[in-house]
Amino acid sequence: MFNIQSLVIISGDPCASQPCMNQGTCMRDNGGFRCVCPSGYSGSRCEIRDVCQPNPCMNGGTCRSVNGNGGYQCICPSGYSGQRCENSMHTECFYAFINR
């Protein structure tokens, strides 16, 4: 059985089917729709998660998305290394003072 009323409602309001993912907000736009995505998501339907939100890099490292498949790279500030800039390359100097 074909329900014309349902078809008219769906075609009349492109947001009725809630096409936006990840709590994106559907906005009618020139007979179609567009999604306004929450922070950390992008794509026409908010389907792409930004792996750099929140920033996985430590110690002031800068996150950069790579390969578009959920990969990321941390650009570490001077003095830090590691996949997430978790390793300090600073050497601590200890001074011993001897009282005589």
pTM: 0.57
Q: Span 62-85, mean pLDDT?
A: 91
What fold does the segment set 52-88 form as a domain? Laminin (2.10.25)
Answer yes or no: CATH 2.10.25.10 is held by domain 18-50. yes
pLDDT, tens only, 24-60: 999 999 889 999 999 889 999 999 989 998 999 999 9
SS (H, E, C) 50-79: CCCCCCCCCCCCEEEEECCCCEEEEECCCC
Q: Do domains 18-50 and 52-88 have the same CATH topology?
A: yes
Asked whether the predicted pLDDT for residue 9 surpasses 60, the reply is: no
Contact predicate 41/51, CB 8 Å: no
The domain ranges of the chain are 18-50, 52-88
